[in-house]
């Protein structure tokens, strides 16, 4: 009986240590603490960041899946909610994404061998005639940070490129971005081609001039007004 009590106490202590470490990882991502060297954020100067803590977690036997789901993704979800509520701005989100990316370098081999599963695949690009990529890049980083494989086609992407990529990645979600009203018309062409060849595909559009009404008019499945909104929709579809 004494052995059982001791064992149970040890398990509780270990779980507490694991939970604390995963929370520290989540906090580093949320606040953009990449590693020990950078002075940002000031309150965490000199402390280990997402880089060191992720490696520590792996060395201590915490599963890569738990590190991703209960640490890194939790941090990205928090910064996404703050961004949607306008409590933080693009620079803070970019720092969080960089912290996430640095930590993910330690997990890449586990994606390759199947130890960690992605939630799904997202194809994203700025449509033909449009060279703006800041918003698209931000969305791509947020989506990847929430556990999806992201295939970024870049800017000035023609309909055929979207379709070709979807052919190579069946079941992927397709996201189109535009900043110019003059390039929004290409979204309809892309959507029609995708739906014609892949009726089951779920398509998304977003960007400053884009609206929910426009999405309905051209037959796109979803309109997103920001990265967190897109992530929430993707999570519902992937559940």
Confidence label for 6 from pLDDT (cuts 50, 70 and 90): low
Report whether pLDDT(2) > 50.
Answer: no
Q: Is 56 helix (H, G, I), strand (E, B) or coil?
A: helix
Average pLDDT estimate for 57-69:
94
Q: Specify the pLDDT at position 159.
A: 98
The two tokens of residue 136 are 């698209």
Task: Provide the residue count of the chain.
Answer: 239
Report whether pLDDT(9) > 70.
Answer: no
Q: C-alpha 152: how far from its chain's center?
A: 12
Give the strand order in the sheet containing 203-206. 149-152, 121-126, 173-177, 203-206, 222-223
| CA dist list (Å): 35 to 82, 110, 111, 222 | 22, 21, 22, 37
Judged by average pLDDT, the poorest of 1-5, 35-39, 165-169, 182-186 is: 1-5
Beta strands in 74-172 (DSSP E): 121-126, 149-152
Classify residue 124 by burial, with Cβ atoms within 10 Å: 0-12, 13-18, 19+: buried
As a whole-number percent, the residues of the chain with pLDDT over 70 amount to 95
Q: Specify the pLDDT at position 16.
A: 87
Of 195, 184, 174, residue with least CA distance to 237? 174
Q: Global pTM?
A: 0.85
């Amino acid at each position: 009986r004494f052995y059982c009590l001791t064992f149970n106490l040890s398990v509780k202590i270990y779980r507490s240590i694991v939970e604390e470490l995963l929370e520290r990882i989540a906090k580093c991502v949320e606040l953009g603490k990449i590693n020990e060297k950078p002075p940002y954020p000031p309150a965490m100067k000199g402390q280990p960041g997402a880089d060191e803590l992720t490696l520590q977690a792996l060395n201590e036997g915490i599963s890569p899946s738990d590190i991703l789901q209960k640490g890194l993704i939790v941090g990205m979800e928090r910064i996404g909610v703050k961004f949607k509520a306008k409590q933080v701005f693009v620079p803070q989100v970019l720092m969080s994404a960089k912290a996430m990316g640095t930590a993910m370098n330690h997990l890449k081999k586990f994606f390759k061998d199947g130890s960690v599963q992605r939630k799904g695949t997202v194809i994203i690009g700025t449509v033909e005639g449009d060279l703006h990529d800041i918003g698209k890049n931000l969305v791509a980083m947020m989506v990847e940070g929430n556990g999806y494989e992201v295939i970024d086609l870049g800017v000035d992407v023609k309909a055929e490129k979207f379709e070709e990529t979807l052919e190579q990645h069946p079941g992927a979600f397709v996201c189109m971005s535009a900043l110019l009203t003059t390039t929004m018309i290409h979204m309809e062409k892309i959507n029609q081609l995708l739906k014609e060849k892949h009726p089951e595909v779920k398509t998304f559009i977003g960007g400053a001039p884009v609206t929910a009404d426009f999405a309905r008019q051209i037959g796109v499945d979803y309109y997103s007004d920001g990265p967190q909104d897109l992530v929430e929709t993707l999570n519902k579809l992937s559940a």
